[in-house]
Amino acid sequence: MPTLEVNTNVHGGATNHAGPSTPAPPPLGTLIDDGTDAGALQLTSVLGYGGYGVVYRASAPAGTLYAVKCLLRSSNPNNPKQQQRQRRLHMREIALHRLAGAGAHPGIVRLHRVIEPALPAADGSLTLPSPYTFLVMDFAPCGDLFTLILHKQVYLGRTGLVARVFAQLAAAVSHCHSLGIFHRDLKPENVLCWDGGETVRLADFGLATTERRSKEWRTGSVYHMSPECQNGNSSSPPYSPLANDIWSLAILLLNLLTARNPWARASPSDPTFSAYLSSPRYFLPQVLPISSGLNDVLVRALDVQWERRETFGVDGLTDGVARLAAEADENQYRRLGYLKPRKSGLYAPDVVFEGGMARCPWEVGMHIPSGSSGSDGDANTHHIRIPPELEPKPDVPPKNAKANVKTSSASFGPSVRQSPTDSMMVEMPPPPTPAKDVRSILY
């Protein structure tokens, strides 16, 4: 067989010559087609990219828009095991996405079709296997939840909207769990938005699994990964991917409410998380403006004993949030600025909205970094610095904690994903080198 030179525009146009290991992504203008009546799609712009794939916006001849995730496969003939592993991961993602979206569940991004075009052989016939697998999905005109939280501040102070959106997301996760599918990468970047943020759907099943107990450590994104998944090793007992999803949902809820992360990573090496471990019942309300009722719910959803968290379940978290949200008057929070509402269901009574985030009163006027680049090296740079006098004894409420706290909780930035695939569907200019593992949102 002759050396493979990938014509990335399957139906003509510029030719890119891939390297010996990973092919170059298809250029804009590429037409992809599976020969069915659905017709060809043209890749028109880049929505997001990562180390093992690119997400494009694509248009059909009738003008319908789609998001197309292009999975790249190694073409190195000297490493067949890598090729086989990538192929298994891609097929698992496709199978689990199709299963989760069967019946057109309203909370799952629809996977319309999978295209694997053949490429020209030396004799001109379309017989060589393509290094690309294209997943054709719903296009989200409002982008992802990360963008709406941080850049557009759609949810800040809107208790009712937060509760409705969180209920949709939790229902999608519960649906997956009922099918034996565990997502393992729940984060704002993997939640796509419609109707100005009123409607959300879950995307990206690249790390999903059907294993009820797993020893695949550090699978997911560091901000949203549970401690048992993040800190395990070969001698550790397996963890529960279901309980890992519950943890991620709880962090995602805090993202919606406050536009912040409680810590950089759920590891004892993180000072903020270490302080939480010392006093899980009382710590969060000292650094985030959440109500005591929500803290009671989060203490169970963020229980470091995953067996108890698994028993609490997605339903326990969802029901608690719905009950508390029903007690709040969201109109009291709608105006951004310094205000003290009479009561709160999810927020603390003295919450302050300033600088695009929810703050405790002692944080007013403080400079809190807007985010990080998401690189592994700086994932720990935006944690709260706990002064010695605030470090509590286990399960003992700290005295005068609010007066002693000096800095804020972790900033809200793109998650550091440890994964074989990556997809984000946020509108952006085409990247100069889309095959490199960089984030689609930087600050």
Q: Which residue numbers belong to the known binding site for ATP? A: 69
Report d(CA 139, CA 41) in Å as an integer: 13
Residue 153 contacts residue 91 (beta carbons within 8 Å): no
CA 344, 348, 350: angle at the middle one, nearest 5? 105
Report d(CA 32, CA 40) in Å as an integer: 5
One-letter amino acid at 215 equals: K
Report d(CA 266, CA 244) in Å as an integer: 12
- Mapped onto helix, strand or coil, the DSSP state of residue 113 is strand
Give 182's strand partners. 209
Report d(CA 408, CA 399) in Å as an integer: 18
Instruction: Say which of 185, 204, 303, 422 is annotated catalytic.
Output: 185
Report d(CA 319, CA 180) in Å as an integer: 21
Report d(CA 337, CA 328) in Å as an integer: 18
One-letter amino acid at 132 equals: Y
Residue 114 contacts residue 181 (beta carbons within 8 Å): no
Tell me the angle at which helices 306-326 and 159-178 cross, rounded to the nearest 10 degrees. Answer: 140
Is residue 138 part of the annotated active site? The answer reads no
Report d(CA 175, CA 141) in Å as an integer: 24
Report d(CA 362, CA 300) in Å as an integer: 27
Residue numbers in the known binding site are: 69
One-letter amino acid at 158 equals: R
Residue 133 contacts residue 10 (beta carbons within 8 Å): no
Q: H or E stretch including 201?
A: strand 199-202
Pairing, β 132-138 against β 357-359: unpaired
One-letter amino acid at 36 equals: T
Give 201's strand partners. 192
**Which residues are catalytic, by number?**
185
